Amino acid sequence: MCGRYASTIPPEAMVELFKLIKSINLLPRFNIAPTQPIVAIWESAGRREGHFARWGLVPGWVKDPRDFPLLVNARAESMAEKPAFRDPLKHGRCLVPASGYYEWHTGPDKKKRPYYITRADGQPMALAGLYATWSGPEGEEIDSVATITVPANAQLSAIHHRMPAILLDERSQDDWLNVREVRAAEAAAMARPLEDGVLRFHPVSTRVNSARDDDPGLIEEVAEEKPEPPKKKVAGGQMDLF
């Protein structure tokens, strides 16, 4: 699962990297969490623009978003069959620009330790996503997004068994956004794990656990905390570390 990420790409770089027709006003973010507004890129009438959307997809057929479960991620293996993702895969594919994302590894001591994962070459990421627009009875509209996950490659499986679908090159990004000519089945085949070595990761502070924290220090590497050795029981019910 991908449940937190960072996006620090300057607006002018966003325009150049993703061929937007205009820039979008955004500030660097270091701890983006579900339900928050995010920047997503999609095409409309051949025009590629950045939009603010809610992270947590709400299909157009939902009666009341407040009664609908939070759909932050779509599993690539099943999104073509799921009612919530089936139409967005055909008509609502998008890119979510990111500088890196966070994942938590559960150690032998059952503690979860966060890691920050980026491209090894330092370039921004384009996460594959799906978007939908919900229209309410009073004319209100909500644009919303789910990011797509795939099985982790061997390198990332040391941390977690899933990873986001990341589109590395310009051709794959163009095809993903081209809902007019690239069919859903072809697009779904593009959502697959990256090869080992494309990404790198390092441990970060547990401050990232709180969505209230959002500062550059969250992505900085920290010393990896070693799990405590298990305590052994001895006669009389006492605990012994030796």
Q: Dump pLDDT digits (tens) for 127-174.
A: 999 999 999 888 889 999 999 999 999 999 999 999 999 999 999 999
Please give the mean pLDDT across all residues of the chain.
91
Q: What is the pLDDT of residue 232?
A: 52
- Say if pTM beats, i.e. exceeds, 0.85: yes
Domain ranges across the chain = 4-223
Please report the sign of the dihedral spanned by the C-alpha atoms of residue 7, residue 12, residue 13, residue 14: positive
Q: What is the pLDDT of residue 1?
A: 63
pLDDT score of 240 more than 90: no
Calpha distance 94→127 (Å, rounded)? 8
Arithmetic mean of pLDDT, 24-38: 94
Q: Yes or no: say if 23 and 40 are a contact pair by the CB < 8 Å rule.
A: no
Which residues, in sequence order, are bridge partners of residue 214? none
User: 239 is written with which tokens?
Assistant: 């605990």
Calpha distance 72→147 (Å, rounded)? 6
pLDDT score of 33 more than 60: yes
For residue 156, give the nearest of 101, 80, 230, 88 by alpha carbon: 101
Q: What is the pLDDT of residue 46?
A: 82
- Given the structure tokens 């759909």, which residue do they identify? 71
Q: Which homologous superfamily does the CATH classification assign to the domain defined by 4-223?
A: SOS response associated peptidase-like (3.90.1680.10)
CA-based angle 157:159:165, to the nearest 5?
60
